[in-house]
Amino acid sequence: MIVLMHAGASESEVQAVSDLIADRGLKPLQLPGGDHTAIGIASAISPDERESLADVLRSMAGVSNVVHVSRPYKLASREFHRASTFVSVKDIVIGGRDLVVMAGPCAIESHEQLMAAATAVKASGARVLRGGAFKPRTSPYSFQGLQRDGLRIMRDVGMQTGLATVTEVIDPHDVDTVAEHVDMLQIGARNMQNYALLVAAGRSSKPILLKRGPSATIDEFLFAAEYILHEGNDQIVLCERGVLPLDRTYTRNTLDVAAVPVLKEISHLPVIVDPSHATGHARYVQAAALAAIAAGADGLIVEVHPEPRRALSDGQQSLTPEGFSELMQAAARVGGAVGRTADW
Ligand code: PEP
Ligand code: MN
């Protein structure tokens, strides 16, 4: 942290700042410049003290600005964890050279529907089966998911096909039950700042797929990851799924494709992209998916339904098995062009 003093700050004001820093058990370092004096803090500040100390310093006479030198999310940031984190979902590693694709329906509707989706996405090269059992819907009248029956279907289809599985958990009290049925827990965009859920996920031994909230900044996204890391779970995959659009005439959300290289630079966690929720229309999903891979994403999560027109949720953005197969072939070409392994 560096405290910048106003040009006209008096010696006693500079001294008062140094004294306050020293009183907190930290080491002040005066850095006289031409017109301005800056005071650095040459010792580590604990994360819980950081903001309150900055607030006090900002309120002191003669202080012009207080700037943080390091990022406030210590565990999610690359500053303190240089090496990239690899996330293991069963025998699948996310964050290495291999692109990993997760695919399946928005919601689990029946054993037959999930099995048809699973067989198709596996044949095209997906390694993780997605499907919601608990659906967070905007309207309480929309299909809420098969819930516990859906979890059982997911577990059965995962076992029968050999695919790893991911499903969303929306209630902190359900984390253990959901974890007994699937290989990875999804925290949805609407729940990115559900802190009780993040803490419960952090205490789970399952890897977590954390989706970015539609209006969350990159810093807020990484603070959400920090909650999970803080509880001891470092197996987190970040997922960019589109942020609030300027207008919804053409797309459901706006894919923040630049968030991919930004997150890869400032965090050590793997990053995947959801082109389905980002665009909201099946016909744009492939273009968004390819952009994501070109931008450095470690994988994708894509909605695929055996019969999108009959889907109980998100049918308009779900690919048919044929559309998904086409996407996968194009993704392998783009992946190869940017140095990724995509040999499905
Ligand atoms: C989903 O994956 O079906 C979903 C609800 O996604 P999001 O949380 O990104 O809206
Ligand atoms: Mn969906």
Taking the C-alpha atoms of residue 15 and residue 21, their distance in angstroms, rounded to an integer, is 10
Tell which residue, 287, 214, 234, has the closest CA to residue 94.
234
- Residues with beta carbon inside 6 Å of ligand 1? 106, 132, 188-190, 211, 241, 274, 277
- DSSP annotation string for 117-157: HHHHHHHHT--EEE-BSS---SSTTS----THHHHHHHHHH
Radius of gyration of the chain (CA): 23
* Residues whose beta carbons lie less than 5 angstroms from ion ligand 2: 106, 314
Q: How far is CA 56 from the centre of its chain?
A: 32
Is pLDDT above 90 for 108?
Answer: yes
- Which ligand neighbours the alpha carbon of 194 most closely? 1
Q: Report which secondary-structure segment, H or E, holds 259.
A: helix 259-266
**Residue 35: what pLDDT?**
85
The pTM of the full predicted model, rounded to 2 decimals, is 0.93
Q: Where are the domains of the chain?
A: 2-67, 87-337
Correct CATH for 2-67 of 3.30.1330.200, 3.30.70.260, 3.30.365.10, 3.40.50.800: 3.30.70.260
Q: Which atom of ligand 1 is nearest to the CA of 242?
A: 9
**Residue 321: what pLDDT?**
98
Mean pLDDT (whole number) for 128-141: 95
Grade residue 26 by pLDDT with cuts at 50, 70 and 90: very high
- Give the sign of the dihedral formed by CA 277, CA 170, CA 197, CA 272: negative
**Residue 70: what pLDDT?**
86
* Torsions phi, psi for 185 (to 5 deg): -100, 130
Tell me which amino acid residue 60 is. Answer: M
Tokens of 213: 């909230």
**Residue 34: what pLDDT?**
83
Q: Is residue 69 within 8 Å of residue 258, measured between CB atoms?
A: no
Taking the C-alpha atoms of residue 44 and residue 281, their distance in angstroms, rounded to an integer, is 48
Tell which residue, 28, 25, 33, has the closest CA to residue 5.
33
pLDDT tens for 162-190 read: 999 999 999 999 999 999 999 999 999 99
Q: What is the DSSP letter of 319?
A: B
Q: What spacing in Å lies between the alpha carbon of 18 and ligand 2's midpoint? A: 53
Taking the C-alpha atoms of residue 231 and residue 221, their distance in angstroms, rounded to an integer, is 16
Mean pLDDT (whole number) for 144-170: 98
Q: Which atom of ligand 1 is nearest to the CA of 274?
A: 9
How many percent of the chain have pLDDT more than 70? 100
Q: Is residue 100 within 8 Å of residue 273, measured between CB atoms?
A: no
- Which ligand neighbours the alpha carbon of 166 most closely? 1
Best probe residue, ligand 1, of 108, 114, 187, 241 (max atoms within 8 Å of C-beta): 241
**Residue 300: what pLDDT?**
99
* Torsions phi, psi for 316 (to 5 deg): -65, -25
Domain 87-337: give its CATH architecture: Alpha-Beta Barrel (3.20)
Q: Which residue owns the Cα nearest ligand 1 atom 6?
A: 188
Tokens of 116: 């048809």
pLDDT tens for 54-66 read: 999 999 999 999 9
